Amino acid sequence: MFAITGVTGHVGGAAARELLAKGERVRAVLRDPAKGGTWSEAGAEVLAADLGDRAALAESFRGCHGAFVMLPTDPGADDAGHRALSASIAGAVQDSGVPHVVMLSSLGAELAGGTGPVRWLHHLESLLRETGVVLTAVRSGHFQEKVESVLDAARGAGVYPVFGSADTPVPMIATRDVGRVCAEALLSPTPAGETIDLDNPQYTERQVAEELAAVLGRPLQVVTVPQPAWVGTMVESGLAPQLARELADMYDAVERGLLQPAGDRRLSCPTGIGETLRRLVRPAT
């Protein structure tokens, strides 16, 4: 049995589906049990637990061979709030006795600061290692699905906004690939744990805009937002000021080249950006 948190999201859902397809028993851990119907139909056991509820989360992990955990970014939570959530997750792991944990992390998580919200993943990685659990940290670059955040601007105004360089290639990984790696890591843990960096394919934001324009069937104007306007632009688009500042720090870290592979081994992910964009756009057309 494998406990999977975040099953309603891209990566957790992909990991759970991969395990079920391989005939493995899956415990889908959801905050809202009303969303568990699809997973029950798919053959998973559904258990309700909030990531901030240490006792309930520990119960969801208990008796499992391994667990997949992630730290969601809460737009309304500050640094202390995200650290408290990390402590709840690590505490639940320790209390449950689950022997192996696969954690969704990020390139740059070896750094304690200067990386925006990535530093919270550094904190969670550290807390999990302190529990003594066998930890597999899967560090990804940008998710290809981040394009969802600019689809309205692309469809409505024909604009593709970029925070930072439009011409610097960076790893952009499809979440289906991340989920597959996490599932495989759950099934085949290394005795001492490891950190896996996900790499390839790499794209510039201009290349992504060109691919998206082809999928939408309309030209897109790449608009590079100057750094002093990053926070204000994100706030105007609806983000909470606190989260906008955190994301601006992360974009700055990308610009400075801080988010680099630093793990034990690297895996290449095959899904191209065109395939992901077609999957994102078609349901809405």
For range 66-74, the mean pLDDT: 95
**Phi and psi angles of residue 72, each rounded to the nearest 5 degrees, phi first:** -70, 150
Cβ-defined contacts of 230-233 (< 8 Å, 24+): 230/163, 233/161, 233/163
Which residues constitute the domain of residue 162? 2-284
Average pLDDT over residues 213-231: 96
pLDDT of residue 201: 86
Given a contact cutoff of 8 angstroms between Cβ atoms, the answer to whether 19 and 184 are in contact is no
* Residue 37: per-residue pLDDT: 84
Pairwise CA distance, residues 71 & 60, whole Å: 16
Residue 283 pLDDT level (bands cut at 50, 70, 90): low
**H-helix or E-strand containing 46?**
strand 45-48
Residue 284 — very low, low, confident or very high, per pLDDT cuts 50/70/90?
very low
Instruction: Report whether pLDDT(285) > 60.
Output: no
Number of domains in the chain: 1
- The shares of helix, strand and coil residues in the chain, as percent rounded to the nearest 5, are 50, 20, 30
> Who contacts 143 (Cβ-Cβ below 8 Å, separation ≥6)?
10, 172, 173, 174, 175, 178
pLDDT in tens, 95-140: 999 999 999 999 999 999 999 999 999 999 999 999 999 999 999 9
Per-residue model confidence as pLDDT tens digits over 244-260: 999 999 999 999 999 99
Q: Report strand pairing: 170-173 vs 202-203.
A: antiparallel
Can you give the CATH number for the domain in which 7 is found?
Answer: 3.40.50.720
pLDDT at site 112? 97
Q: What mean pLDDT value characterizes the chain? A: 95
Tokens linked to 190: 């290394």
